[in-house]
Protein backbone atom coordinates (compact mmCIF):
# COMPACT_ATOMS: atom_id res chain seq x y z
CA UNK A 1 0.00 0.00 0.00
CA UNK A 2 2.82 2.43 0.79
CA UNK A 3 4.07 2.25 -2.78
CA UNK A 4 0.73 3.73 -3.90
CA UNK A 5 1.16 6.89 -1.81
CA UNK A 6 1.46 10.00 -3.92
CA UNK A 7 2.91 13.16 -2.34
CA UNK A 8 0.59 16.08 -3.10
CA UNK A 9 1.95 18.63 -0.60
CA UNK A 10 4.83 19.10 1.88
CA UNK A 11 2.85 17.25 4.57
CA UNK A 12 0.06 15.67 2.52
CA UNK A 13 -0.13 12.31 0.74
CA UNK A 14 -2.82 10.68 -1.38
CA UNK A 15 -3.91 7.08 -1.79
CA UNK A 16 -5.52 7.30 -5.26
CA UNK A 17 -8.95 5.79 -5.76
CA UNK A 18 -8.75 2.17 -6.81
CA UNK A 19 -10.89 -0.93 -6.52
CA UNK A 20 -14.14 -0.11 -4.74
CA UNK A 21 -12.93 3.14 -3.14
CA UNK A 22 -15.58 5.86 -3.54
CA UNK A 23 -13.16 8.67 -2.57
CA UNK A 24 -9.36 8.96 -2.30
CA UNK A 25 -7.41 8.46 0.90
CA UNK A 26 -5.48 11.41 2.36
CA UNK A 27 -2.72 11.02 4.96
CA UNK A 28 -1.00 13.94 6.68
CA UNK A 29 2.61 13.72 7.81
CA UNK A 30 6.22 14.54 7.07
CA UNK A 31 8.38 12.10 5.12
CA UNK A 32 9.94 11.04 8.43
CA UNK A 33 6.51 10.10 9.81
CA UNK A 34 5.21 8.47 6.63
CA UNK A 35 8.20 6.13 6.28
CA UNK A 36 7.25 4.48 9.60
CA UNK A 37 3.51 4.10 8.97
CA UNK A 38 2.40 0.46 8.82
CA UNK A 39 0.93 -0.78 5.55
CA UNK A 40 -2.00 -2.15 7.54
CA UNK A 41 -2.96 1.33 8.76
CA UNK A 42 -2.82 2.71 5.20
CA UNK A 43 -5.00 -0.20 4.05
CA UNK A 44 -7.53 0.79 6.70
CA UNK A 45 -7.62 4.33 5.26
CA UNK A 46 -8.37 2.82 1.84
CA UNK A 47 -10.97 0.43 3.28
CA UNK A 48 -12.89 3.30 4.90
CA UNK A 49 -13.04 5.01 1.49
CA UNK A 50 -15.41 2.24 0.32
CA UNK A 51 -18.11 3.02 2.91
CA UNK A 52 -21.55 4.03 1.58
CA UNK A 53 -22.12 7.78 1.66
CA UNK A 54 -18.50 8.70 2.41
CA UNK A 55 -17.63 12.17 1.09
CA UNK A 56 -14.49 14.05 0.02
CA UNK A 57 -11.82 11.64 1.33
CA UNK A 58 -10.94 9.05 3.94
CA UNK A 59 -8.29 10.78 6.05
CA UNK A 60 -5.61 10.06 8.62
CA UNK A 61 -3.68 12.45 10.85
CA UNK A 62 0.10 12.23 11.49
CA UNK A 63 -0.43 10.13 14.64
CA UNK A 64 -1.80 7.35 12.41
CA UNK A 65 -1.38 3.77 13.58
CA UNK A 66 -3.26 0.51 13.14
CA UNK A 67 -6.62 0.31 14.91
CA UNK A 68 -9.89 -1.61 14.84
CA UNK A 69 -11.53 -0.99 11.46
CA UNK A 70 -10.43 2.61 11.07
CA UNK A 71 -6.83 3.51 12.00
CA UNK A 72 -6.14 5.58 15.09
CA UNK A 73 -5.91 9.12 13.72
CA UNK A 74 -8.66 8.39 11.19
CA UNK A 75 -11.34 10.86 10.06
CA UNK A 76 -14.28 10.02 7.78
CA UNK A 77 -17.50 11.89 7.08
CA UNK A 78 -20.62 10.32 5.64
CA UNK A 79 -23.79 11.94 4.39
CA UNK A 80 -26.27 12.14 7.29
CA UNK A 81 -29.20 11.31 5.05
CA UNK A 82 -27.69 8.76 2.68
CA UNK A 83 -24.58 7.44 4.43
CA UNK A 84 -23.70 5.05 7.23
CA UNK A 85 -22.49 5.20 10.82
CA UNK A 86 -19.79 2.77 11.97
CA UNK A 87 -18.73 1.93 15.56
CA UNK A 88 -15.30 0.97 14.17
CA UNK A 89 -14.99 4.57 12.97
CA UNK A 90 -15.38 5.77 16.56
CA UNK A 91 -13.54 3.16 18.59
CA UNK A 92 -14.08 1.30 21.84
CA UNK A 93 -13.17 4.07 24.28
CA UNK A 94 -16.02 6.35 23.24
CA UNK A 95 -15.18 10.02 23.90
CA UNK A 96 -11.73 9.28 25.13
CA UNK A 97 -10.68 12.91 25.36
CA UNK A 98 -8.47 15.46 27.04
CA UNK A 99 -8.92 18.65 29.02
CA UNK A 100 -6.38 21.34 29.79
CA UNK A 101 -6.60 23.51 32.91
CA UNK A 102 -4.57 26.68 33.47
CA UNK A 103 -3.59 28.10 36.88
CA UNK A 104 -2.18 31.15 38.65
CA UNK A 105 0.70 29.00 39.91
CA UNK A 106 4.36 28.92 38.93
CA UNK A 107 7.14 26.43 39.59
CA UNK A 108 8.08 28.35 42.73
CA UNK A 109 4.66 27.59 44.24
CA UNK A 110 5.39 23.84 43.95
CA UNK A 111 8.86 23.93 45.50
CA UNK A 112 9.14 21.27 48.21
CA UNK A 113 5.53 20.16 47.61
CA UNK A 114 5.70 18.12 44.40
CA UNK A 115 5.79 14.71 46.08
CA UNK A 116 2.97 15.66 48.41
CA UNK A 117 0.84 16.96 45.51
CA UNK A 118 1.54 13.81 43.48
CA UNK A 119 0.38 11.62 46.37
CA UNK A 120 -2.72 13.77 46.95
CA UNK A 121 -3.73 13.53 43.29
CA UNK A 122 -3.16 9.77 43.32
CA UNK A 123 -5.27 9.44 46.47
CA UNK A 124 -8.11 11.59 45.11
CA UNK A 125 -8.31 10.09 41.60
CA UNK A 126 -8.90 6.30 41.43
CA UNK A 127 -6.66 4.72 38.79
CA UNK A 128 -5.83 1.34 37.28
CA UNK A 129 -7.46 -1.49 35.35
CA UNK A 130 -11.03 -2.02 36.55
CA UNK A 131 -10.68 0.79 39.09
CA UNK A 132 -13.86 1.88 40.84
CA UNK A 133 -14.61 5.32 42.17
CA UNK A 134 -16.02 6.91 45.27
CA UNK A 135 -19.39 7.42 43.60
CA UNK A 136 -21.83 4.52 43.79
CA UNK A 137 -24.75 5.27 41.49
CA UNK A 138 -28.18 3.71 41.32
CA UNK A 139 -29.41 2.67 37.84
CA UNK A 140 -31.64 5.77 37.76
CA UNK A 141 -28.74 8.08 38.69
CA UNK A 142 -26.48 6.49 36.08
CA UNK A 143 -29.10 7.08 33.39
CA UNK A 144 -29.21 10.74 34.47
CA UNK A 145 -25.43 10.92 33.90
CA UNK A 146 -25.83 9.34 30.46
CA UNK A 147 -28.50 11.91 29.53
CA UNK A 148 -26.90 15.01 31.06
CA UNK A 149 -23.11 14.50 30.86
CA UNK A 150 -21.04 17.25 32.48
CA UNK A 151 -24.24 19.11 33.38
CA UNK A 152 -25.07 16.32 35.85
CA UNK A 153 -21.62 16.62 37.44
CA UNK A 154 -21.85 20.41 37.83
CA UNK A 155 -25.41 20.14 39.13
CA UNK A 156 -24.12 17.76 41.82
CA UNK A 157 -21.38 20.18 42.88
CA UNK A 158 -18.45 18.80 40.86
CA UNK A 159 -17.28 22.03 39.29
CA UNK A 160 -18.70 25.33 38.08
CA UNK A 161 -21.03 26.43 35.29
CA UNK A 162 -18.19 28.13 33.40
CA UNK A 163 -16.56 24.68 33.03
CA UNK A 164 -19.45 23.74 30.72
CA UNK A 165 -18.85 26.73 28.45
CA UNK A 166 -15.30 25.56 27.79
CA UNK A 167 -16.19 21.94 27.03
CA UNK A 168 -16.91 20.67 23.51
CA UNK A 169 -20.68 20.53 23.02
CA UNK A 170 -20.89 21.93 26.57
CA UNK A 171 -20.20 18.40 27.79
CA UNK A 172 -23.46 16.92 26.56
CA UNK A 173 -24.88 15.42 23.37
CA UNK A 174 -28.66 16.05 23.66
CA UNK A 175 -29.60 13.12 21.42
CA UNK A 176 -28.30 10.59 23.94
CA UNK A 177 -30.71 7.71 24.61
CA UNK A 178 -29.74 5.84 27.80
CA UNK A 179 -32.42 3.21 27.04
CA UNK A 180 -30.17 1.94 24.21
CA UNK A 181 -27.32 1.23 26.66
CA UNK A 182 -27.29 -2.44 27.63
CA UNK A 183 -27.61 -3.79 31.16
CA UNK A 184 -24.06 -5.15 30.83
CA UNK A 185 -22.72 -1.70 29.89
CA UNK A 186 -24.55 -0.10 32.82
CA UNK A 187 -23.13 -2.72 35.15
CA UNK A 188 -19.59 -2.04 33.94
CA UNK A 189 -19.99 1.72 34.31
CA UNK A 190 -21.96 2.07 37.53
CA UNK A 191 -18.91 2.32 39.82
CA UNK A 192 -16.41 3.85 37.37
CA UNK A 193 -17.53 7.48 37.28
CA UNK A 194 -14.65 9.68 38.45
CA UNK A 195 -11.94 7.13 37.64
CA UNK A 196 -8.93 7.46 35.38
CA UNK A 197 -8.52 3.88 34.22
CA UNK A 198 -5.28 2.55 32.75
CA UNK A 199 -3.31 2.41 29.50
CA UNK A 200 -2.52 5.81 28.03
CA UNK A 201 -4.92 7.64 30.36
CA UNK A 202 -3.32 10.09 32.77
CA UNK A 203 -3.55 13.17 34.95
CA UNK A 204 -0.47 15.33 34.52
CA UNK A 205 0.79 18.51 36.19
CA UNK A 206 2.86 20.47 33.68
CA UNK A 207 4.82 23.69 33.31
CA UNK A 208 4.49 25.94 30.26
CA UNK A 209 7.94 25.69 28.75
CA UNK A 210 7.57 27.71 25.56
CA UNK A 211 5.09 30.20 24.11
CA UNK A 212 4.79 30.47 20.33
CA UNK A 213 1.94 32.98 20.17
CA UNK A 214 1.89 35.36 23.13
CA UNK A 215 -1.36 37.06 22.23
CA UNK A 216 -3.35 33.83 21.93
CA UNK A 217 -1.64 32.32 24.98
CA UNK A 218 -2.65 35.43 26.91
CA UNK A 219 -6.27 34.90 25.84
CA UNK A 220 -6.01 31.43 27.36
CA UNK A 221 -4.42 32.73 30.57
CA UNK A 222 -1.02 31.15 29.89
CA UNK A 223 2.52 32.46 30.14
CA UNK A 224 5.95 30.84 30.24
CA UNK A 225 6.59 29.21 33.62
CA UNK A 226 2.92 28.85 34.58
CA UNK A 227 1.52 25.53 35.83
CA UNK A 228 -1.13 23.58 33.93
CA UNK A 229 -3.07 20.38 34.56
CA UNK A 230 -3.99 17.93 31.79
CA UNK A 231 -6.49 15.07 32.16
CA UNK A 232 -6.86 12.29 29.57
CA UNK A 233 -9.47 9.56 29.97
CA UNK A 234 -12.78 8.40 28.52
CA UNK A 235 -15.95 6.39 29.07
CA UNK A 236 -14.17 3.39 30.61
CA UNK A 237 -15.94 0.00 30.63
CA UNK A 238 -19.33 1.46 29.77
CA UNK A 239 -18.15 2.90 26.45
CA UNK A 240 -16.22 -0.26 25.61
CA UNK A 241 -19.33 -2.35 26.14
CA UNK A 242 -21.48 -0.02 24.01
CA UNK A 243 -19.01 -0.45 21.14
CA UNK A 244 -18.87 -4.22 21.63
CA UNK A 245 -22.67 -4.52 21.72
CA UNK A 246 -23.26 -2.48 18.57
CA UNK A 247 -20.53 -4.07 16.49
CA UNK A 248 -22.62 -7.25 16.77
CA UNK A 249 -25.80 -5.34 15.87
CA UNK A 250 -24.14 -3.70 12.86
CA UNK A 251 -22.58 -6.88 11.54
CA UNK A 252 -26.00 -8.54 11.55
CA UNK A 253 -27.44 -5.55 9.68
CA UNK A 254 -24.99 -5.68 6.75
CA UNK A 255 -26.97 -8.21 4.71
CA UNK A 256 -30.26 -6.44 5.40
CA UNK A 257 -28.96 -3.20 3.90
CA UNK A 258 -26.89 -4.93 1.18
CA UNK A 259 -23.65 -3.31 2.38
CA UNK A 260 -20.39 -4.78 1.11
CA UNK A 261 -17.27 -4.23 3.23
CA UNK A 262 -13.59 -5.08 2.70
CA UNK A 263 -13.25 -5.52 6.46
CA UNK A 264 -16.02 -6.62 8.85
CA UNK A 265 -14.43 -4.43 11.55
CA UNK A 266 -16.05 -1.51 9.69
CA UNK A 267 -19.50 -3.03 10.30
CA UNK A 268 -22.08 -0.28 9.87
CA UNK A 269 -25.67 0.64 9.14
CA UNK A 270 -27.36 3.64 7.52
CA UNK A 271 -27.49 6.69 9.79
CA UNK A 272 -31.24 6.86 9.13
CA UNK A 273 -31.87 3.18 9.97
CA UNK A 274 -33.16 1.82 13.27
CA UNK A 275 -29.73 0.31 13.97
CA UNK A 276 -27.99 3.60 13.17
CA UNK A 277 -30.38 5.55 15.37
CA UNK A 278 -29.92 3.12 18.26
CA UNK A 279 -26.12 3.25 18.03
CA UNK A 280 -26.06 7.06 17.92
CA UNK A 281 -28.24 7.20 21.04
CA UNK A 282 -26.03 4.75 22.91
CA UNK A 283 -22.79 6.32 21.65
CA UNK A 284 -23.96 9.78 22.77
CA UNK A 285 -24.82 8.33 26.20
CA UNK A 286 -21.29 6.93 26.55
CA UNK A 287 -19.84 10.25 25.37
CA UNK A 288 -21.84 12.05 28.06
CA UNK A 289 -20.52 9.61 30.67
CA UNK A 290 -16.96 10.44 29.56
CA UNK A 291 -17.50 14.19 29.84
CA UNK A 292 -18.98 13.77 33.33
CA UNK A 293 -16.04 11.54 34.21
CA UNK A 294 -13.43 14.16 33.25
CA UNK A 295 -15.44 16.89 34.96
CA UNK A 296 -15.45 14.98 38.26
CA UNK A 297 -11.76 14.10 38.01
CA UNK A 298 -10.97 17.79 37.45
CA UNK A 299 -13.00 18.71 40.55
CA UNK A 300 -11.08 16.22 42.68
CA UNK A 301 -7.77 17.45 41.26
CA UNK A 302 -8.72 21.01 42.25
CA UNK A 303 -9.37 19.72 45.78
CA UNK A 304 -5.91 18.10 45.88
CA UNK A 305 -4.22 21.37 44.87
CA UNK A 306 -6.20 23.32 47.48
CA UNK A 307 -5.38 20.89 50.28
CA UNK A 308 -1.64 20.64 49.51
CA UNK A 309 -0.97 24.30 48.71
CA UNK A 310 -3.38 25.79 51.23
CA UNK A 311 -4.75 28.29 48.71
CA UNK A 312 -8.33 29.24 47.86
CA UNK A 313 -9.82 28.22 44.53
CA UNK A 314 -9.65 31.86 43.48
CA UNK A 315 -5.93 32.06 44.27
CA UNK A 316 -5.23 28.76 42.52
CA UNK A 317 -7.04 29.93 39.37
CA UNK A 318 -7.51 26.37 38.10
CA UNK A 319 -9.74 27.27 35.15
CA UNK A 320 -10.64 24.96 32.29
CA UNK A 321 -9.17 26.12 28.98
CA UNK A 322 -10.93 23.44 26.93
CA UNK A 323 -12.06 19.81 26.83
CA UNK A 324 -12.43 17.95 23.55
CA UNK A 325 -13.31 14.46 22.43
CA UNK A 326 -11.08 12.05 20.49
CA UNK A 327 -13.34 9.08 19.69
CA UNK A 328 -16.78 10.24 18.62
CA UNK A 329 -19.19 10.82 15.74
CA UNK A 330 -20.78 14.27 15.49
CA UNK A 331 -23.60 15.71 13.39
CA UNK A 332 -22.03 18.72 11.63
CA UNK A 333 -22.52 20.93 8.60
CA UNK A 334 -19.62 21.28 6.14
CA UNK A 335 -19.05 22.58 2.63
CA UNK A 336 -18.23 19.76 0.22
CA UNK A 337 -17.60 20.69 -3.42
CA UNK A 338 -19.40 23.98 -2.86
CA UNK A 339 -22.49 22.36 -1.28
CA UNK A 340 -23.44 22.58 2.40
CA UNK A 341 -24.03 19.04 3.64
CA UNK A 342 -25.10 17.61 6.96
CA UNK A 343 -22.54 14.94 7.82
CA UNK A 344 -21.80 12.21 10.36
CA UNK A 345 -18.16 13.10 11.09
CA UNK A 346 -16.31 10.14 12.61
CA UNK A 347 -13.14 11.10 14.47
CA UNK A 348 -11.14 8.20 15.86
CA UNK A 349 -7.97 9.26 17.62
CA UNK A 350 -8.61 12.68 16.10
CA UNK A 351 -10.18 15.85 17.42
CA UNK A 352 -12.00 18.95 16.27
CA UNK A 353 -9.95 21.99 15.22
CA UNK A 354 -12.61 24.59 14.43
CA UNK A 355 -11.42 27.97 13.10
CA UNK A 356 -12.06 31.50 14.41
CA UNK A 357 -15.69 32.69 14.18
CA UNK A 358 -17.13 29.17 14.12
CA UNK A 359 -20.59 29.39 15.73
CA UNK A 360 -20.10 26.27 17.87
CA UNK A 361 -17.14 27.78 19.73
CA UNK A 362 -17.45 29.51 23.10
CA UNK A 363 -17.65 33.28 22.66
CA UNK A 364 -14.21 33.72 24.24
CA UNK A 365 -12.62 31.62 21.45
CA UNK A 366 -14.42 33.14 18.45
CA UNK A 367 -11.36 35.31 17.71
CA UNK A 368 -8.63 32.76 18.45
CA UNK A 369 -10.11 29.56 17.07
CA UNK A 370 -10.72 26.40 19.07
CA UNK A 371 -8.02 25.24 21.48
CA UNK A 372 -6.50 21.99 20.18
CA UNK A 373 -4.77 19.95 22.88
CA UNK A 374 -2.20 17.38 21.74
CA UNK A 375 -0.68 15.32 24.57
CA UNK A 376 2.73 13.73 24.12
CA UNK A 377 4.34 10.95 26.14
CA UNK A 378 5.03 11.29 29.85
CA UNK A 379 8.74 11.95 29.37
CA UNK A 380 8.74 14.82 26.87
CA UNK A 381 6.06 17.44 26.22
CA UNK A 382 2.50 18.26 25.13
CA UNK A 383 1.19 21.06 22.93
CA UNK A 384 -1.64 23.54 22.80
CA UNK A 385 -2.65 24.74 19.33
CA UNK A 386 -5.66 26.43 17.74
CA UNK A 387 -7.86 25.45 14.81
CA UNK A 388 -7.59 27.13 11.41
CA UNK A 389 -9.76 27.89 8.36
CA UNK A 390 -7.74 25.35 6.35
CA UNK A 391 -8.77 22.58 8.76
CA UNK A 392 -12.38 23.44 8.01
CA UNK A 393 -11.69 23.39 4.26
CA UNK A 394 -9.64 20.18 4.18
CA UNK A 395 -10.31 17.91 7.19
CA UNK A 396 -13.86 18.69 8.32
CA UNK A 397 -12.31 20.88 11.01
CA UNK A 398 -10.17 18.04 12.40
CA UNK A 399 -6.67 17.65 13.83
CA UNK A 400 -4.65 14.90 15.49
CA UNK A 401 -5.06 13.80 19.10
CA UNK A 402 -1.61 12.80 20.34
CA UNK A 403 1.77 11.36 19.51
CA UNK A 404 0.71 7.91 18.33
CA UNK A 405 2.34 4.66 19.35
CA UNK A 406 5.39 3.24 17.59
CA UNK A 407 5.70 0.18 19.88
CA UNK A 408 3.02 -2.29 20.85
CA UNK A 409 2.48 -2.64 24.58
CA UNK A 410 4.17 -6.06 24.45
CA UNK A 411 7.24 -4.63 22.71
CA UNK A 412 7.41 -1.75 25.18
CA UNK A 413 7.39 -4.12 28.16
CA UNK A 414 10.16 -6.13 26.52
CA UNK A 415 12.22 -2.98 25.90
CA UNK A 416 11.73 -1.82 29.52
CA UNK A 417 12.92 -5.04 31.17
CA UNK A 418 15.82 -4.49 33.53
CA UNK A 419 15.15 -0.76 33.67
CA UNK A 420 13.33 1.47 36.14
CA UNK A 421 11.33 3.85 33.98
CA UNK A 422 10.20 5.72 37.12
CA UNK A 423 13.82 6.34 38.16
CA UNK A 424 14.81 7.43 34.66
CA UNK A 425 11.96 9.94 34.61
CA UNK A 426 12.74 11.16 38.14
CA UNK A 427 16.28 11.91 36.97
CA UNK A 428 14.66 14.12 34.32
CA UNK A 429 12.64 15.95 36.98
CA UNK A 430 9.39 14.06 36.30
CA UNK A 431 7.67 12.24 39.17
CA UNK A 432 5.40 9.33 38.20
CA UNK A 433 2.94 7.38 40.32
CA UNK A 434 0.95 4.46 38.96
CA UNK A 435 -1.32 1.66 40.15
CA UNK A 436 0.79 -0.76 38.09
CA UNK A 437 4.48 -0.93 37.22
CA UNK A 438 3.44 -2.74 34.05
CA UNK A 439 1.49 0.32 32.87
CA UNK A 440 4.55 2.53 33.29
CA UNK A 441 6.55 0.07 31.18
CA UNK A 442 3.84 -0.05 28.49
CA UNK A 443 3.72 3.74 28.43
CA UNK A 444 7.47 4.39 28.42
CA UNK A 445 8.37 7.48 26.34
CA UNK A 446 10.06 5.45 23.59
CA UNK A 447 6.75 3.64 22.93
CA UNK A 448 5.47 6.82 21.25
CA UNK A 449 6.42 9.03 18.34
CA UNK A 450 8.07 12.29 19.26
CA UNK A 451 4.97 14.48 19.44
CA UNK A 452 6.93 17.49 18.17
CA UNK A 453 7.21 15.73 14.78
CA UNK A 454 3.46 15.16 14.75
CA UNK A 455 2.80 18.80 15.64
CA UNK A 456 5.29 19.94 12.98
CA UNK A 457 3.25 18.05 10.39
CA UNK A 458 -0.09 19.42 11.59
CA UNK A 459 1.18 22.99 11.62
CA UNK A 460 3.04 22.52 8.34
CA UNK A 461 -0.17 21.30 6.72
CA UNK A 462 -1.96 24.38 8.06
CA UNK A 463 -4.52 22.36 10.02
CA UNK A 464 -3.65 23.80 13.45
CA UNK A 465 -1.34 26.52 14.72
CA UNK A 466 1.01 26.25 17.73
CA UNK A 467 0.36 28.35 20.83
CA UNK A 468 2.35 26.75 23.67
CA UNK A 469 4.38 23.72 24.73
CA UNK A 470 4.11 22.15 28.19
CA UNK A 471 6.61 19.88 29.96
CA UNK A 472 5.43 17.20 32.44
CA UNK A 473 6.30 17.52 36.14
CA UNK A 474 3.95 15.08 37.93
CA UNK A 475 2.23 12.16 36.23
CA UNK A 476 -0.56 9.91 37.50
CA UNK A 477 -0.94 6.69 35.48
CA UNK A 478 -3.25 3.72 35.84
Q: Compute the distance between CA of residue 114 and CA of residue 94 in angstroms, rounded to an integer.
A: 33
Q: Compute the distance between CA of residue 144 and CA of residue 147 in angstroms, rounded to an integer.
A: 5
Whether 425 and 468 have beta carbons less than 8 Å apart is answered as: no
SS3 455: helix
In the prediction, which pLDDT does 382 show? 97
Q: What is the mean pLDDT of the chain?
A: 96
Residue 72 neighbours by CB distance under 10 Å: 25
Say which residues have a Cβ less than 8 Å from residue 138's Cβ, sequence separation at least 6.
none
* Residue 435 pLDDT class (50, 70, 90 cuts): confident
Q: Report pTM.
A: 0.96
Q: What is the pLDDT of residues 316-348, one digit of tens each?
A: 999 999 999 999 999 999 999 999 999 999 999
Q: Which of 239, 280, 273, 272 is nearest to 253 (CA)?
A: 273
DSSP element (H, E) containing 323: strand 319-325
* Residue 61 pLDDT class (50, 70, 90 cuts): very high
What secondary structure does DSSP assign to 391-404, as a single string?
Answer: HHHHSSSEEE-S--
In the prediction, which pLDDT does 405 show? 86
Q: Compute the distance between CA of residue 327 and CA of residue 72 in angstroms, rounded to an integer.
A: 9
Q: Compute the distance between CA of residue 227 and CA of residue 160 in angstroms, rounded to an integer.
A: 20
Say which residues have a Cβ less than 8 Å from residue 141's Cβ, sequence separation at least 6.
none
Whether 83 and 52 have beta carbons less than 8 Å apart is answered as: yes
Q: Compute the distance between CA of residue 367 and CA of residue 303 in angstroms, rounded to an integer.
A: 32
In the prediction, which pLDDT does 394 show? 97
pLDDT at 478 over 80: no
Which of 84-98, 162-176, 398-412 has the weakest average pLDDT? 398-412
Q: What are phi and psi of 289, to 5 degrees?
A: -60, -45
Tally of structural domains, the chain: 1
* Residue 128 pLDDT class (50, 70, 90 cuts): confident
Q: Compute the distance between CA of residue 384 and CA of residue 137 in angstroms, rounded to an integer.
A: 35
* Residue 396 pLDDT class (50, 70, 90 cuts): very high
440-451: average pLDDT: 92
Whether 120 and 307 have beta carbons less than 8 Å apart is answered as: yes
Which residues span the domain enclosing 402? 2-477
Q: Compute the distance between CA of residue 468 and CA of residue 459 in angstroms, rounded to an integer.
A: 13
121-148: average pLDDT: 90
In the prediction, which pLDDT does 1 show? 83
Check 151, 232, 324, 401 and give the catalytic one: 401
Q: Compute the distance between CA of residue 206 and CA of residue 475 in angstroms, rounded to an integer.
A: 9
In the prediction, which pLDDT does 249 show? 98
pLDDT at 131 over 90: no
pLDDT at 133 over 80: no
CA 292 to chain centre: 15
In the prediction, which pLDDT does 64 show? 95
106-110: average pLDDT: 97
Q: Compute the distance between CA of residue 276 and CA of residue 80 in angstroms, rounded to an integer.
A: 11
What's the CATH number where 203 sits?
3.90.1860.10
The verdict on whether 326 is a catalytic residue reads no
* Residue 125 pLDDT class (50, 70, 90 cuts): very high
pLDDT at 118 over 80: yes
Q: What is the pLDDT of residues 18-48, one digit of tens each?
A: 999 999 999 999 999 999 999 999 999 999 9
241-261: average pLDDT: 97
**Paired sense of beta strands 58-65 and 25-28, if any:** parallel
In the prediction, which pLDDT does 106 show? 98
Q: Compute the distance between CA of residue 264 and CA of residue 233 in angstroms, rounded to an integer.
A: 27
* Residue 436 pLDDT class (50, 70, 90 cuts): confident
Whether 273 and 81 have beta carbons less than 8 Å apart is answered as: no
Q: Which of 462, 325, 468, 467 is nearest to 389 (CA)?
A: 462
In the prediction, which pLDDT does 406 show? 85
Largest CA distance in the chain: 65
Amino acid sequence: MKEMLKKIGPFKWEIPRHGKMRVPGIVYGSEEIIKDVEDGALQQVANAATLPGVVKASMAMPDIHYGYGLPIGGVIATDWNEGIVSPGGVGFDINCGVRLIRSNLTLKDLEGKKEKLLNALFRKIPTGVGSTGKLKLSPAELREVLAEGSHWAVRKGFGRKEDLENTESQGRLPWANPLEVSTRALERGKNQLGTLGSGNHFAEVQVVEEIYDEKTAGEFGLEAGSITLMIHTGSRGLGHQVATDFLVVMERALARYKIWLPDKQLACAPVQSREGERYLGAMASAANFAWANRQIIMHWAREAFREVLGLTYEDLGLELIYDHAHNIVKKEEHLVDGRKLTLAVHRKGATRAFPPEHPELPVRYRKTGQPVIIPGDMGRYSYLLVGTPRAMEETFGSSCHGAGRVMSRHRAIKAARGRSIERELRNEGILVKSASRRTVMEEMPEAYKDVSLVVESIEGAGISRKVARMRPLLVIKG
